[in-house]
Amino acid sequence: MELHQVEYFLAVVDHKGINAAASALRLAQPTVSQAIRVLERELGVDLFHRIGRGMVLTSAGQAFVGPARQVLRDVVAAEGALVDSEGLPRGRLDIHVAAPLAVHPVAQLVGQFRKRYPNVSLRLADLRDEEAGAALIRDGHCEIVFTNLPVAGPELEVEELGTHDYWLVCPPGTDVPARDPLPLTELPDLPLVIVPKSTGRTAIERALSAARKHTTPSAIVQHRESLLPFVLAGVGGTILARPMAEQAAARGAVVRAIDPPISLAYGVLYDPALLSPAGRAFLRLARTR
């Protein structure tokens, strides 16, 4: 078994197919397919059921996912345990980030971190399910998770880093009262574009209910990055963390702060026992901000 075979196997699992995995890996589809078949021959089992063009894990494949992730995690940990001739971290640092936090503070942190530690490469992935943060760390997907708080029972270290206010974002040209911040009681009767489930959505719904405002979803989108394009296209309004709302205003959206403010704490999850030197350095930088 070779390391790249394990990486290709997990790519097929995570991207739910050969073609998507090959695209993510920037490889030709036959290269990935052949590597998986060679791996199956070496292991003596079928890892996938081939159903038409689809790939479904067999029971053996499901059993192999955990050990495969641990193999890659161990390699990353081994690389991350190294330091250069000046004693600075090197290797790779994996982080999962909730979408509202990518704009702020993570983008700024990554920029500062790369200037201080140029021999560490960072791999950032989207945290689509905030409840899955602890599992991502335990299963070896990453060292650090940036997420909205609170997090229920993560069995990990949780550190609050700051708060974000959430602002109203409406399609260009929407007739919104000029008051800024806008009282929630004066929120226009505007359908909202929302994501199915998130800590932010829960806080927003609680605040709207307290203000006796009842809104109707115009669209429910699976990916948070789709919210702003839908709003700019006139599908409906939404409520976004301030850094994302300010970007929306720059693109022509009508934006208002909200009174009383809707605020949500954010922070990091991590396991101190699993942190590499790069991970510890990144957390020190995050705390100083």
Single-letter code of the amino acid located at 246: E
DSSP category for residue 178: S
DSSP designation for 72: H
In terms of pLDDT, which residue wins out, 232 or 88? 232
pTM over 0.85: no
Query: Is a pLDDT exceeding 80 seen at residue 52?
Result: no
Q: What is the pLDDT of residues 106-129, one digit of tens each?
A: 999 999 999 999 988 898 988 888
User: Which has more pLDDT, 283 or 129?
Assistant: 283
Distance CA 74, CA 81 (A): 10
**Residue 228 scores a pLDDT above 80:** yes
Question: Taking the alpha carbons of 286, 95, 144, 228 in that order, is the dihedral positive or negative?
Answer: positive
Within its chain, how far is the Cα of 207 from the centroid? 25
> Do 127 and 255 contact (CB within 8 A), yes or no?
no
At residue 274 the predicted structure's pLDDT band, cuts being 50, 70 and 90, is: confident
pLDDT of residue 77: 67
Residue 86 has pLDDT above 80, yes or no: no
Percentage of the chain surpassing pLDDT 70?
95
Is 90 exceeded by the pLDDT of residue 203? no
Nearest Cα residue to 19 out of 6, 29, 9: 29
| More confident call, 289 vs 38 | 38
Give Cα 193 distance to the centre of its chain.
19
107 or 203: whose pLDDT is higher? 107
Q: Cβ distance 255 to 169 under 8 Å? A: yes
Query: Residue 197: is its pLDDT beyond 80?
Result: no
pLDDT in tens, 120-170: 889 898 888 888 888 888 877 889 999 999 887 668 999 999 999 999 999
Q: Residue 198 burial by CB count (10 A; 0-12/13-18/19+): exposed, middle or buried?
A: buried
Tokens at residue 210, please? 């307290």
Place of tokens 């909205």: 148
The pLDDT value given to residue 146: 96
pLDDT at 87: 67
What per-residue confidence (pLDDT) applies to 85? Answer: 60
Cα–Cα distance measured from residue 30 to residue 37, given in angstroms and rounded to the nearest whole number = 10
DSSP string, 87-102: S-B-EEEEEEE-HHHI
pLDDT score of 175 = 92
Lowest mean pLDDT among 49-53, 229-233, 269-273: 49-53
DSSP-derived pairing of the beta strands 182-183 and 144-148: unpaired
DSSP code of residue 52: T
Taking each helix axis from N to C end, the angle separating 18-25 and 3-15, rounded to the nearest 10 degrees, works out to: 120
Of all residues in the chain, the percent with pLDDT exceeding 90 is: 47
Summarize the confidence of residues 186-215 as an average pLDDT. 84
Sign of dihedral through CA atoms 38, 39, 45, 49? negative
Q: What mean pLDDT value characterizes the chain?
A: 88
